[in-house]
Amino acid sequence: MSKDSPRRAVVPVLVPMPAERPYSYAVPEGVEAPPGAIVRVPLGPREVAGIVWDGPGEAIEPKRLRAISQVFDCPPIPDDMRRFIDWVGHYTLTPPGLVARMALRAPAAFDPEPLIEALQATGAKPERMTAARSRVLELCAGGFPWTRSGLAHAAGVTPSVIDGLYGQGMFEKVMLPPPPVVAAPDPDHGPPDLTVDQAEAAEALACKVGAGGFSATLLDGVTGSGKTEVYFEAVAETVRQGKQALVLIPEIALTQAFLERFENRFGARPAEWHSDLPPRMREKVWRQAAEGRVRVVAGARSALFLPYKELGLIVVDEEHDPAYKQEDRVVYNARDMAVVRANMGGFPVILASATPSVESRVNADTGRYQRLALSARYANATLPELRAVDMRRSPPARGAFLSPVTVEAVARTLERGEQSLLFLNRRGYAPLTLCRVCGHRFQCPQCSTWLVEHRFRGQLACHHCGHSQPRPDACPECGTLDHLVACGPGVERIAEEAVSHFPDARIVVLSSDILGGTRRLRLELEAIARGEADIVIGTQLVAKGHNFPNMTLVAVVDADLGLANGDPRAAERTFQLLNQVTGRAGRSGGRSLGLIQTFQPEHPVMRALVSGDAGEFYAREIAERERGLLPPFGRLASLIVSAESKADAETHARALRRAAPPTDELSVLGPAEAPLALVAGRHRFRLLVQGSRRADIQAYLRQMIAGGPKPRGSVRVSVDVDPQSFL
């Protein structure tokens, strides 16, 4: 480089890699690359898209300094979004580059959408008029531009008719911006007729939107109380203010009914964002959210990382839902991060649930969040009458899983021409297969789990690593033929039992194993809502947000299932899930019944469900968390050390433990072999870091990891701050 070459500006660029810091790049002369700009930069042998970050670039040797190769013609990633990316990286101990990667998930969207060619009538008259021609020209009379194929379709003519007219100078070509993915929502399209309670809550929310600034509100209302109707009013106010709104919904891909309700209220659908979206659509939504053309997004957790131009509200529906926790790569809870995002953006966030998480409940109790309560179901819809079925007193027949009480209730429901739901959160036919002669149990060769029988497919499958093998006829251990038994129930087995009782009923089994994926599942759910099934047997997929007007009986086959593991949130989870499941019944008036099959009817979870009084249950859970210094009263993080050999994993975990700096505020538990000790051939050890809310747990974890040995060979360390899973 010659001495008098011009000094070039250097900027930091965050690249979508596990980079702890932005890298420095030169800005070519005459090029503008302000913070937030999306740029293409060379990285090693390739080029990647990154974001120009804040502050001056780190000084590096001029020889190694490479230049930005392109600044995309794209709205910059806004300031609050950049701070959010840094914050999430810091909080979850993830390199910020990996967080940025989530915001850059639509590479083709960095270039503007191409304009589309359209035809506009010039007003000239053709020499010869035909019926077809006059239909075409009539449509164009107002000067409104049409695409060639759109016009042909609307006029019911072949495109050659259009071409003929064009040839005679009846049209001129104009270039139009691509159409929006969804029409603009109209906040005054279909205003609801709210009840007094609903109107009060809606008013309070609209006021928060109107006032601007950060606020967090817990919208706490029983299932069917109209929480959606109420938060729609906050969305409407946001749209009126000229801001964008985001509604987070677990399983959005399955809840098409939500989109219809939104359309009834706003005259247009929200833009959807989830992993099932076709790539072209993802790109459009990304781009149009960045340009501010999309005003409302309904999405899964990752919608939090879209580059909204002017976000003004986030709603987290079913805020307690475990689906908000992402467990791979960037381990974060979208519910919590939504609150952070709103705080940074200075706008309101609404958390809605019939069974709020203990964390949110405490935040509402202490006044950190405002609470708005809706205590009654809308209109004549009454909550189902809930009853515990004591399985010790009304046991099922041998080899069966439905109590006579449940079978009888299903029979009555069938007689009335209404629907029943049998809920069991277990896929497949049976969770364990063993040999009756030698006791051999079928275990996954790569995981410490039993193989689940899927009788329909004739397979034994592992739900952790995906391993699957045909179900043999003979025991691989002792060779005896035809003596393998299935132990315990899955949904397929409950279906078999239901068929034996009700051979003429229309029975549907729904789980994520359904062939045909999300699309098929959606169709099935819609069919059920139309009444095209008598008995539905399903996993938690059927519990989420669906409205089955004719469903008047919900029976939980094994209410104790979720309570057995060593998870401190087991009781809370079970309560939330079962409340949501039984809430599927009786949503359109009339009597309905929820049956809870349990061996422990006196358990606090069952008592809270049956009595409908959650207060006492929450009080106990909260007291227990407080005593144990668990979130939200304390800090908690887990470290999973895994490796291909057990010794490597254990040695590394012990070394990390030794590297933990001494402090009074935090303590380290473990390492202990994780409950799932082996997954996909990797041995797992777990450390828990726990302690006072005042402690800086992130700094502590960083010290621990920095002070420990570098992971070598197959060793991996993954950090989970505020873990939800303890397996």
**Long-range CB pairs of 710-713, under 8 A, 24+ apart, other chains included:** 711/652, 713/643, 713/644, 713/648
Q: From the list 49, 137, 235, 447, which residue makes contact with Zn ion (rule: CB under 5 A)?
A: 447
Using the rule CB under 6 A, give the single segment among 102-110, 219-227, 570-578, 686-694 that binds ligand ADP: 219-227
- Answer with the entry of Zn ion, ligand ADP, none that 447 interacts with (C-beta below 5 to 8 A by kind): Zn ion
What is the contact mask toward ligand ADP in residues 695 to 724, using x (rule: CB under 6 A)? ------------------------------
Instruction: Count Cβ neighbours within 10 Å for each residue of 576-612 and write b for 16 or more, e otherwise.
Output: bbbbbbbbbbbbbeeebbbbbbbebbebebbebbbee
Residue 644 is which amino acid? E
Cα(first)–Cα(last) distance of the chain, in Å? Answer: 57
Tell me the three state secondary structure of residue 605: helix
Partnered with residue 533 across adjacent β-strands are none
Neighbour count for residue 123 (Cβ, 10 Å): 10
Please state the closest distance from residue 478 (CB atom) to ligand ADP, in A: 53
Min dist. Cβ of residue 380 to ligand ADP (A): 10
Using the rule CB under 6 A, is 262 a contact of ligand ADP?
no
The DSSP symbol for 297 reads E
Spell out the alpha helix ranges (H) of 560-645.
Answer: 570-582, 604-611, 614-627
**Which position among 221, 348, 396, 691 is part of the footprint of ligand ADP (CB under 6 A)?**
221
CA distances from 499 to 254, 487, 493, 522, 536 (A): 27, 19, 10, 24, 11
Residue 192 binding ligand ADP, by CB under 6 A: yes
Residue list 547-576, contact with ligand ADP (CB under 6 A) = 547
Separation of alpha carbons 96 and 242, rounded Å: 31
688 binds Zn ion (CB under 5 A): no
| Residue 444 lies near Zn ion (rule: CB under 5 A) | yes
Nearest-10 crossing angle of helices 256-266, 227-240: 50
Phi, psi of 440 (to 5 degrees): -60, 135
Q: Quick one: what does residue 444 bind among Zn ion, ligand ADP, none, with the CB cut-off 5 to 8 Å set by partner type?
A: Zn ion
Q: How far is the CB of 464 from Zn ion (least distance, A)?
A: 5
Residue 194 sits in the site that holds ligand ADP (CB under 6 A): yes
Nearer to Zn ion, 442 or 685 (CB): 442
If you write DSSP's letter for every residue of 87-116 in order, what string do you get?
Answer: HHHHHHT--HHHHHHHHT--GGGGSPPPPE
Interaction of residue 382 with ligand ADP, rule CB under 6 A: no
Name the segment binding ligand ADP (CB under 6 A); options: 27-35, 193-201, 593-601, 620-628: 193-201
Examine residue 415 and tell whether it contacts ligand ADP (CB under 6 A). no
Q: Which residue number, 221 or 312, has a Cβ lying nearer to ligand ADP?
A: 221
Contacted entry of ligand ADP, Zn ion, none for residue 194, CB cut-off 5 to 8 Å set by kind: ligand ADP
250 binds ligand ADP (CB under 6 A): no
Nearer to Zn ion, 306 or 451 (CB): 451
> Of 314 and 678, which CB lies nearer to ligand ADP in the complex structure?
314
Are the C-beta atoms of residues 575 and 355 closer than 8 Å to each other?
A: yes
Select from ligand ADP, Zn ion, none the partner in contact with residue 465, using the beta carbon and a kind-dependent cut-off of 5 to 8 Å: Zn ion
- Give the residue with the Cβ less far from Zn ion, 303 or 444: 444
Q: 137-146: buried (b, 16+ CB within 10 Å) or exposed (e) per residue? A: beebeeeebb
Contacts of 16 (CB under 8 A, 6+ apart): 48, 49, 50, 97, 98, 100, 101, 104
Stretch that binds Zn ion, among 244-252, 442-450, 494-502, 719-727 (CB under 5 A): 442-450
339: DSSP letter:
H
User: Residue 462 interacts with Zn ion (CB under 5 A)?
Assistant: yes
Out of 94, 215, 217, 223, point to the residue binding ligand ADP (CB under 6 A).
223
CA–CA dist 15, 41 (Å, integer)? 8
Nearer to Zn ion, 440 or 464 (CB): 464
Q: Binder to ligand ADP among 229, 233, 251, 359 (CB under 6 A)?
A: 229
467 contact choice in ligand ADP, Zn ion, none (CB below 5 to 8 Å, kind-dependent): Zn ion
Strands 46-52 and 70-71: unpaired
CA 636, CA 723: separation in Å to the nearest integer? 7
- Determine if 195 is a binding residue for ligand ADP (CB under 6 A): yes
Interacting residues with ligand ADP (CB under 6 A): 192-195, 198, 221, 223-229, 378, 547
Interacting residues with Zn ion (CB under 5 A): 444, 446-447, 462, 464-465, 467
